[in-house]
Amino acid sequence: MKVVKPILVVLIFLIACTFGVVLIIIPWRTANIFRADDWNNRGNSEELRGDPNKAIEDYNRAIKLNPNLAQAHYNRGRAKADKGEWDGAIADYNRALELDPNFYSAYVNRGIARFAKGDFEGAKADCNRAIEISPKSARAYICRGSAQSASGHVDEALIDFNRAVELDPDSSDAYARRGAAKKAKYDCKGAIADYDRAIELAPKSFSTWINRGNAKSAMNDVEGAIIDYGQARELNPKHKSVCNGLGTAEIQRQNWAAALREFRYSCELSEEEQDYPRLYIWLARVRLGEADAANADLAAYLDKRPETTRGDWVSKLAGHLLGTVTEAELFSAVSSDPEKEGDQRCEAWFYTGIKELFSGDKQTAVDHFRNCLATGKKNLREYRFAQAELKALGQ
């Protein structure tokens, strides 16, 4: 008995210790899970405050504490998307979907990220899956419609945007995107109606003001376009699209000094996407009696362009304006690609018409401007400029 008692005491002690450890570990693990949720929720708050970096830090902590928290992976992906880190966002959405294969929002957001990277087929596939899971969510239709439109399937895009509007009549995004699709189909009146509704729902949407201005410009409502571009400028005073829109409208009403000012400002704001603004600067300066300076300025710009752009379409247009590319050479350079041919032919007719006009051959210029309109490329600036020239010539 003297030997047994110490053994029993030791056993009782070990059992007590074991249960004690279990009792400590279970609450500790549970606390970790709850703390992960807390960090996740705080990350949401940081996102709402507009600080994606702090949000990502909080989501990192949540994931470290609970690696299987799908919502935290999804939220971190969303915060990365806010910063334009599309690859990182997709990786997080992938993990969220591994943990929860029916995570509808993860499919939609991954579709949006893929769309941003130019993977339109991948975006459509994600939206298809999202619609299978949640058939009455407008976001999935908006995303799929955007991918359809970007890949050239505008009719299919309109079907998706119509469905999005039915499901969520208060979605400014659905109206704005449907407006863009209608404009791509040359239904500018329908586009403007959709932009009107989008602006009612979201009056501070910069892109919608710009797009409605573009639609009005395409309909030759120049004054209305200038008002819309002015509203956009109040929201974002230093954006190239405002300058380009206003410059286009000023050329339409042949206010050359104002057009020159806007396109120069556009080029000052960014060295990117200057090719066409430089052509319009040349046009405005020649009209203002600065032909020699206009030629020197355009030639200097061509010299500064990368070596890889030498001989491209813009260099052919500029060369024709400078007298180094003949009309025949310009038309022979028109692409045989059906997606480019119509646009390039429209532009070629306009710029050859301008050269004929400046040389004093008004009748040939009129013929060229009419040929420009015959291409039917109503969304091109050159189409509208040809209309303005014909009006000024009494045609």
Give the pLDDT of residue 6: 58
Cβ neighbours for 123, distance < 8 A, ≥ 6 positions apart = 111, 112, 114, 115, 143, 144, 146, 147
pLDDT higher than 50, residue 257: yes
Q: How far apart are CA 316 and CA 306, in angstroms?
A: 15
Give the pLDDT of residue 187: 96
**Each residue of 208-228: pLDDT tens digit?**
999 999 999 999 999 999 999
125, burial (CB in 10 Å: exposed 0-12, middle 13-18, buried 19+): middle
Task: Enter the tokens of residue 232.
Answer: 């956009």
Q: How far apart are CA 226 and CA 297, in angstroms?
A: 27
Q: How confident is the model at residue 174 (pLDDT cuts 50, 70, 90)?
A: very high
Give the pLDDT of residue 386: 98
Q: Say how far residue 386 (Cα) sits from the centre of its chain.
A: 28
Give the H or E element holding residue 370.
Answer: helix 362-374
Nearest in space to 204 (alpha carbons), one of 230, 229, 231: 231
Task: Enter the tokens of residue 229.
Answer: 């571009």
Task: Find out whether 283 and 251 touch, Cβ atoms under 8 Å.
Answer: yes
Higher pLDDT, 13 or 231: 231
Q: How confident is the model at residue 26 (pLDDT cuts 50, 70, 90)?
A: very low
pLDDT higher than 90, residue 167: yes
Helices (H), 185-290: 188-201, 206-218, 222-235, 240-252, 256-269, 275-287
Q: Say how far residue 395 (Cα) sits from the centre of its chain.
A: 38
Q: How far apart are CA 40 and CA 63, in angstroms?
A: 8
Task: Find out whether 202 and 228 touch, Cβ atoms under 8 Å.
Answer: no
- Amino acid code (one letter) for 66: N
Task: Find out whether 180 and 191 touch, Cβ atoms under 8 Å.
Answer: yes
Residues shown for the chain: 395
Kindly report the backbone phi and psi dihedral angles of residue 229, in degrees, each rounded to the nearest multiple of 5, phi listed first.
-65, -35
**Each residue of 272-286: pLDDT tens digit?**
999 999 999 999 999
pLDDT higher than 60, residue 17: no
Give the pLDDT of residue 5: 58
Task: Enter the tokens of residue 60.
Answer: 């990192």
Give the Cα-Cα-Cα angle 206, 273, 260 (nearest 5 degrees): 80
Give the pLDDT of residue 34: 55
Nearest in space to 256 (alpha carbons), one of 369, 392, 360, 377: 392
Task: Find out whether 229 and 245 touch, Cβ atoms under 8 Å.
Answer: yes
Task: Go through 58-67 and write b for each residue having 16 or more CB atoms within 10 A of its CB, e for each that does not.
Answer: bbebbbebbe
Query: 340 by DSSP, 3-state: which?
Result: helix
Q: How far apart are CA 311 and CA 324, in angstroms?
A: 12
Task: Find out whether 265 and 245 touch, Cβ atoms under 8 Å.
Answer: no
Give the pLDDT of residue 12: 52
Q: How far apart are CA 8 and CA 367, in angstroms?
A: 112
pLDDT higher than 70, residue 261: yes
Query: 197 by DSSP, 3-state: which?
Result: helix
